[in-house]
Amino acid sequence: MFASVVGYLTIDPVFTAMGADATTLPMIRQYMGPWYLSIVLLVVPMMGNAALRDSGDSMTQARTMIISAILNGILDPILIFGHGGHRGHGRDRRRRGGIIACGVAAALTLWVLIRGADLVSFERVPFAEVKASWRQILKVGAPPPTSLALLRTTVLALPLAWIGAQWNGLEGLFIGVAAANIITGLAAFWMARPLRAGILPDPGAR
């Protein structure tokens, strides 16, 4: 949620610094706004499926990904070109298919985590105990993804952003959006990654 809010509130300054102008900024806001606000829908299946896989259930992850991909494949043509009584909206509404598919995947993952695998509990726990648990999780889970996120950001995302800033118009817009998606995804993944490493380590590890 933190990455989602920060990303949404900094769309204009970040993309302006990357070379966006008054022509491309409205398109950037239209495309990136919904994606920033839906980051949680991407992180929940990512971390939830990892927890299920580490507990020995790999089929749920496969089914969830297949359902999400099929739903996205069905919704995209309908939202772009229209079907039946639904009027198409072109590429402007294409991202909604992906967001809906991610939302369905997140709902399915949460249902399995809570009802099926019983891996989520809503019992009250003293905050001191929660804080101590978080500290232990971060000690184990934070260093590797931090190093990986920094490496990918400096090697891939930032050079893409710089290249995109050298062009005006749609070319620079598309490259800049790709770089922003990479940076945002890495930030969300980095903040959620320790949960998997600390909560459900590999049952076969010694």
Report the alpha-carbon distance of residue 24 to residue 15 in Å, rounded. Answer: 9
- Residue 118 placed within a domain: yes
Q: Write out pLDDT tens, residues 136-157.
A: 877 766 665 555 555 555 555 5
- Residue 54 placed within a domain: yes
CA distances from residue 161 to 15, 64, 108, 143, 197 in whole angstroms, order as listed: 9, 32, 35, 26, 31
Q: What average pLDDT is seen over the chain? A: 72
- Residue 85 placed within a domain: yes
Which residues, other chains included, contact 39 with Cβ-Cβ below 8 Å and sequence gap of 6+? 1, 3, 4, 7, 184, 185, 188
Report the alpha-carbon distance of residue 71 to residue 97 in Å, rounded. Answer: 8
Total domains present in the chain: 1
- Residue 204 placed within a domain: no
Q: pLDDT band at residue 47, thresholds of 50, 70 and 90?
A: confident
Q: Write out pLDDT tens, residues 108-135.
A: 988 988 887 778 878 888 888 888 888 8
Range of the domain at 141: 2-199
pLDDT of residue 154: 57
pLDDT of residue 205: 45
- Residue 62 placed within a domain: yes
CA distances from residue 153 to 138, 157, 161, 177 in whole angstroms, order as listed: 21, 5, 10, 14
Q: Regarding predicted confidence, which is higher, 100 or 27?
A: 100
Q: pLDDT band at residue 1, thresholds of 50, 70 and 90?
A: confident
Q: Regarding predicted confidence, which is higher, 105 or 58?
A: 105
Q: Give the best-scoring range by mean pLDDT among 92-96, 102-106, 161-165.
A: 102-106
Q: Are strands 82-83 and 86-87 parallel, antiparallel or unpaired?
A: antiparallel
- Residue 205 placed within a domain: no
pLDDT of residue 88: 56
Cβ contact 51:200 at 8 Å: yes
- Residue 38 placed within a domain: yes
List of E strands, 26-133:
82-83, 86-87
- Residue 78 placed within a domain: yes
